[in-house]
Structure 1
Amino acid sequence: MPQNGLGLAPRLHYLADRARRINVGSVLERAREASADHGKWMPAVVVDMLWQAGVRNVGFQDYIDYDFAILNRDERATYMTHPVSNQLSQKYDHPDFRHLFQDKVEFDHAFSDFLKREWMVVAEGNAEALREFTQRQGTIVTKEPVGQAGTGVHRYHAEEIEDWSRFHSDLLSRGELLVEEVIVQHPDLAAVCPGTVNTTRVTAFFDGERTHILAMAQKFGRGAVSDQMTFGGFYTMLDDDGHAVGAGYDSHGHVHRTHPDSGFVIGDFQLPMIDDVKAFVDRVARVVPQVQYVGWDIVVTPTGPVLVEGNWGAGVYENKPSVTGIRTGHKPRYREAIGF
């Protein structure tokens, strides 16, 4: 594929924006963390972090999460970072179609064939329909149409609801408008954490003809309604065969060689139906071809993969060298598929 480049203007815009919003205290806190974790002189870490951010397009949290303090220049160059990912999103995800991914109700309409579960929208006058739906399901998940990192996601049990009219009006007032059937995950996922539906993040690029899988990460929850880090969740990277490359970790310095609740050894995890997952991603990537670069959240069920959501701002999931022993990232795959 030809080298398309990301352009100088987006990068300069990003740098100017970061310069306006830089939090010196936050930078120093992260530098202290890297210094303590890796035995590096803190002033040198600060200078290096600022250089990497200004010249190499490395976010401050990327520097911490991917252990840049212990990597050499060539190793660092293999890591995808959030600033670069953001530039890819801006270039390859057409703004006229992003709303289909930002609004969860619109997303469910657009990708209804791939959800494989029932859903409804709370609206004025449908309290009885909500009661019938919830009682039939037993447990439901509600979502605010616009939210990130698991915010605005809630779980309710029909047996705990006494006043259905009040329940309906409360959902309306809080903006919890999307109601979905709870996904039943594959036993291999439930063996790690049965209380949370554990999603697989597949970052992919659709070039108009072919879907390229750039990276895969398996997220695990802690029994809450979401497996996001804000709910105590963590992740491990998967190889091309769907096998974990090592222990789990998050952006708060926590490393999980075993799941804290189940005791499952994270490095032993194998994503079931990996070939089905790859084929599934290829199908969903073609639904809105104008949004080419997406982080797809998928759950493998006993009968196959189902779609949770797609993120047009794909974010980044990468190896953590101090945990996995792997000192290279996925950026070469991005370059090969996208050409930049």
Structure 2
Amino acid sequence: MPSNGLGLKSRLGYLAERARRINVGSVIERAKKASAQHGKAVPAVVVDMLWSAGRHNVGFQDYIDYDFAILNRAERATYMTHPVSNQISERYAHPDFRHLFHDKIEFDEKFSEFLRREWMVVKPGNADELRDFVQRQGTVIVKTPMGQAGSGVFRYHAADITDWEAFHAELLGKGRLLVEEVIRQHPDLAAVCPGTVNTTRVTAFFDGEKTHILAMAQKFGRGEVSDQMSFGGFYTMLDDDGHAVSAGYDSHGHVHELHPDSGFRIADFQLPLIDEVKAFVDQVARVVPQVQYVGWDIVVGPDGPVLVEGNWGAGVYENKPSVSGIRTGHKPRYQAAIKF
């Protein structure tokens, strides 16, 4: 296992790269948003954003998403940020095993017993197999093997396909090679948004003996093929018992007290089978112990948790003070488990 600490070298390298790629216009635009929302002067916010980035590893979007403009120094110190998370990912994911999480086909092969759904790979010459699979399922999810953040995910209906050879050629030509059965979600999730499979992001760290659950976020879709923000999705943080701690929100400034389509009050949401979810995360975290820090996307089905994917670049989901009223984040939990 890697030694403790994130290391000065990786941090300095990250800061140098950020400085090289900084987009001043983007920083100012974000500062204007914070100024309008929190009544702070734009120049002061710009200076604070740059200082926070350089001194405290706070991403510019983190600053906006987690309302740093209204937090004091002690409160800010409790928040996980994407730069820190990225450093943890680099340190605690052995390079020789990252491909198992990058490539969705390799992931499905490695974690097949936890998928709890059928799947197949489009290859030259298997148009008949594809037709049989899609017709049997009725509707399927098709993915490009290397897509991320919801990109490269598509939904097809058997009833819409008339030429199976052409359909097979289209998928093959566009690199849409992974075909999966649609996941059935628990009625409590379908009550919020039945048209999208709503995933639970469980960020966890496996220390070689114990799996530490660091944060849980519940994502909700808008009827699209994915619940990612690029498809109009949003999230709320969950407490240790799986209960929503606030209304929903995203990185585009939208706040959802109620789900826009179903009218469900987001703060009333309770993730079903929470104990089973925690046990499930412990199981999947042990499959590739060389990748210790993972953001697991899980769907609670009618009969238990189902694995969607694992992200070795775990990302960050955190409380938003202006929505939740909670002015502290999850970083102490990360520090207790990872010792940085």
TM-score per shorter chain, which class?
A: over 0.9
**Distance in 2, Cα, partners of 1:213 & 1:154:** 30
Q: Which runs of 5+ in 2 are unaligned?
A: none
* 1:296-340 Cα distance to aligned partner (Å, 9 max, x none): 000000000010000000000000000000000000000000100
Question: TM-score w.r.t. structure 2 length?
Answer: 0.99
Deviation at 1:147, TM superposition (A): 1.1
Matched with 2:339 is: 339
Q: Determine whether 1:260 maps to 2:232.
A: no
Structure 1 counterpart of 2:307: 307
What's 2:43 paired with?
43
Is residue 178 of structure 1 aligned with residue 178 of structure 2?
Answer: yes
Shift of 1:5: 1.4
In 1, Cα distance between the equivalents of 2:110 and 2:148? Answer: 19
Matched, 1:207 2:220: no
Residues 152-163 of structure 1 correspond to what in structure 2 (within 5 A)? 152-163=152-163
What is the distance in 1 between the residues matched to 2:35 and 2:151? 32
Aligned-pair CA distance for 1:3:
8.6
> Where does residue 57 of structure 1 map in the other structure?
57
**2: CA distance between counterparts of 1:124 and 1:46?**
54
**Distance across 2 between alignment mates of 1:3 and 1:100:** 23
**Paired residue secondary structure (1:194):** coil
In the other structure, the counterpart of 1:151 is 151
The corresponding residue for 2:18 is 18
Deviations 1:7-34 (A, max 9, x none): 1000000000001110011000000000
Q: Supply the AA of the counterpart residue of 2:122.
A: V
How many correspondences in the alignment?
A: 339
Give the 5 Å matches for 1:27-176. Answer: 27-176=27-176
One-letter code of the match for 2:320? Answer: K
Q: Which runs of 5+ in 1 are unaligned?
A: none
2:235 aligned residue: 235
Q: Would the aligned equivalents of 1:211 and 1:282 in 2 still touch at CA under 8 Å?
A: yes
State the one-letter code of the partner of 1:264: F
Runs of 4 or more off by more than 4 Å in structure 1? Answer: none
CA distance in 1 between partners of 2:264 and 2:20 (Å): 44
TM-score under structure 1 length normalisation: 0.99
Residues 105-147 of structure 1 deviation map (CA, whole Å, 9 limit, x = unaligned)? 0000000000000000000000000000000000000000001
Q: Distance in 2 between matches of 1:3 and 1:197?
A: 38
CA distance in 1 between partners of 2:164 and 2:182 (Å): 19
Contact 1:296/1:310, CA 8 A, preserved across alignment: yes
Q: Which residue of 1 aligns with 2:221?
A: 221
CA gap of 1:246–1:124, structure 2 versus 1, over 3 A, is: same
In structure 2, C-alpha distance between the alignment counterparts of 1:136 and 1:64, rounded to whole Å: 46
Q: Would the aligned equivalents of 1:3 and 1:339 in 2 still touch at CA under 8 Å? A: no
Match of 2:188 in 1: 188
C-alpha separation between the residues in 2 aligned to 1:221 and 1:247? Answer: 14
CA distance in 2 between counterparts of 1:221 and 1:68 reads 27
- Rounded to whole Å, the distance in 2 between the matches of 1:209 and 1:339 is 15
For the residue of structure 1 that corresponds to 2:141, the secondary structure is strand
Following superposition, the deviation at residue 81 of structure 1 comes to 0.2
CA distance in 1: counterparts of 2:212 and 2:267, whole angstroms: 25
Aligned-partner Cα distance in 2 for 1:148–1:75: 31
Question: 1:224-270: per-residue Cα shift (whole Å, max 9, x none)?
Answer: 00000000000000000000000000000000000000000000000
